[in-house]
Amino acid sequence: MSTAQDKKKVIELLNQGRAAELTAIMQYMAQHYELDDADYGKLAKIMKTIGIQEMNHAEQLAERILYLGGTPTSEPDGKVTKGQDIAAMLKRDIGLETGAVEMYNASAMGCAKAGDHTSKQLFQDLLQDEEEHLGQFQNIQDHVAKLGDAYLATLVGDQGGEA
């Protein structure tokens, strides 16, 4: 990295990503519990799996922040929304993932500009996962919109507690 200011900017970008990941973790795990309780175990498993992937992202960001001499944030950047129907959950999740995709694209460019190609690569790796999550949520949303209760019935049963 060129300067101490560049390093500070990269740490800020990493912490912004971490804060977003913490929000996603809490949101997806809350949905996992709600869906499992409502007997949508198959969808609950998807939420749990994605939540765990977001935990890994948060950890990777924290490790990079620490390596650069920063302090990883432990504050999420948003609040958890509970008690939604499945369509509203998916809309919220698509919003979170769309925001992450946009943020990580911008953050990768910011890291490149600062001369930190390792952090740039981290954001690009995370971006790939977030794009996959976005696609999963959009696919489920499309099925719910087209097939309604018939599709939701395919998500019933199966315990969501096992990933």
> Does the pLDDT value for residue 161 go beyond 90?
no
In whole angstroms, give the CA distance from residue 77 to residue 79: 7
In whole angstroms, give the CA distance from residue 96 to residue 40: 21
pLDDT of residue 36: 94
In whole angstroms, how far apart are CA 99 and each of 17, 78, 126? 10, 12, 13
Domain annotation covers residue 159: no
Q: What is the mean pLDDT of residues 107-122?
A: 98
For residue 44, the enclosing domain spans 4-153
Mean pLDDT of the chain: 94
CATH code of the domain containing 96: 1.20.1260.10
pLDDT of residue 125: 98
Q: What is the mean pLDDT of residues 88-109?
A: 97
Q: How many domains does the chain have?
A: 1
Q: Give Cβ neighbours of residue 148 (< 8 Å, ≥ 6 apart).
A: none
Q: What is the mean pLDDT of residues 137-144?
A: 96
Domain annotation covers residue 119: yes
> Does the pLDDT value for residue 2 go beyond 90?
no
| Helix, coil or strand: residue 1 | coil
Q: Do 102 and 13 form a contact (C-beta atoms < 8 A)?
A: no
Domain annotation covers residue 65: yes
Q: What is the mean pLDDT of residues 34-48?
A: 95
> Does the pLDDT value for residue 1 go beyond 80?
no
> Does the pLDDT value for residue 88 go beyond 70?
yes
pLDDT of residue 162: 54
